[in-house]
Amino acid sequence: MNEFKKTPKPPGFETLAIHAGASPDPVTGARNVPIYQSTGFVFNDVNHAASLFNLQDFGYIYSRIGNPTVSSLEEKVAALENGRAAVATSSGHAAQLLAMYILLEPGANFVASSNLYGGSITQFTHTFKKFGWECRFVDPSDPINFKNSIDANTKAIFLEVLANPGGIILDLEPIADIAKTSGIPLIVDNTTASPYLCRPFEWGADIIIHSMTKFLGGHGNAMGGIVVESGNFDWAQNDKFPSLTKPDPAYHGLTFFESFGDFGFSTKARAVALRDLGPTLAPTNASLILTGIETLSIRMERHVENAQKVAEYLDSHDEVAWVSYAGLKSSKYHQLAKKYLPKGPGSLFTFGLKGGYESGIKLVESVELISHLANLGDTRTLIIHPASTTHRQLTQDQLIASGAGPEVVRISVGLETIDDIIADLDQALDNAL
């Protein structure tokens, strides 16, 4: 008889993608998570209702703040990121708003990488000002730039680990050390990498944001965002986060971090921010994203495989000035990709045309198989000219800083037959140049 018992291994990524948060329905036996298309949920009695409203018990009240279909999705994404808890929202932008609403008060600031999605730059620069919040953008290529922008009113660092649109990879570890030393959380937008390619919590991140509209859903058919909490940040280490460490008058003086500990941030995000701001994820969209996540691993493998071949083709094309893809050995991010994204540096990247702005416009208007639209992470290959579309609200300096200069074209490589993707690019480049 074997004296040594086998230690059970934790479930693999693919197993979690299929099974986490998705037990068979106890009443009907339905194997897929049902779509609970209901606005409200019946209470057992008045005491049960009171315990739910007082946050003394967990359950469902009203679908604006919680729904069983959405809860399954939250549990699944938290498991894939190895997080403690998660709160889903109607979009990625809503997830960013929710996170910052918990962390910031009027007069506070946060430091962000200048290499961000153009919509995030606009949200941070203009819309957040109406809340009295300041965003300080820095060049992320040197982590010391984050440190130099932090002051007594700084409440967070925000970055994209695999930046949209440029395919730029940031060195997470030293930036996480700076955040930790400063007593503030590191927030990482992991949308373009997905948890299959990168696990930011393993490198010191404290909060992860996703636009689930992209790779998690993967089929371009559902909007959604999510905020994932690591459970490792000590919100009481300083006086920077009164929203979590001081009594909340809306809940009779309850203190969220004291009462809920390592998921206090998520509880506050749901019970206050989601309740009052209202960017709720619809259960139908949650169901579509749940289905998409089940194939995340195999989709990401093909995305990366196709992206590598497309990048190599473009890199050898006479009319392409440069290609910013970390899978190329010539990329200055190649070694960082090996460290943080060992399974591949994603499928979103940019390239520059020698013909500049006009050539970029002609290229995206000449594709036939490839779709010219403002999304990424779809099964289909998507292309866009950021300077004339997603980033057109930015100044010229902001365009350059964000990696969306006039000659830049962004491509999100899909799952089609690789020869067909390259053939379409070939004919479109011929027409554009």
In this predicted model, what pLDDT tens digit does every residue of 409-424 receive, in sequence order? 999 999 999 999 999 9
pLDDT at 391: 62
Q: Higher-confidence residue: 59 or 5?
A: 59
Residue 241: CB partners within 8 Å, gap ≥ 6? 103, 155, 235, 257
Q: What is the pLDDT of residues 77-95, one digit of tens each?
A: 999 999 999 999 999 999 9
pLDDT at 2: 46
Measure the CA angle with vertex 366, ends 360 and 368; round to 5°.
135
One-character DSSP codes across 15-82: HHHHHTT-PPPTTT--SSPP----SB---SSHHHHHHHHTTSS---SBTTT--HHHHHHHHHHHHHTT
Length of the chain equals 433
Q: What is the pLDDT of residues 349-399, one digit of tens each?
A: 999 999 988 999 999 999 999 999 999 999 999 999 988 776 666 667 776
Q: What is the pLDDT of residues 305-343, one digit of tens each?
A: 999 999 999 999 999 999 999 999 999 999 999 999 999
Whether residue 319 contacts residue 353, with contact meaning beta carbons closer than 8 Å, is answered with yes
Could you tell me the domains of the chain?
Answer: 13-292 (3.40.640.10), 298-432 (3.90.1150.10)
- Whole-prediction pTM value? 0.94
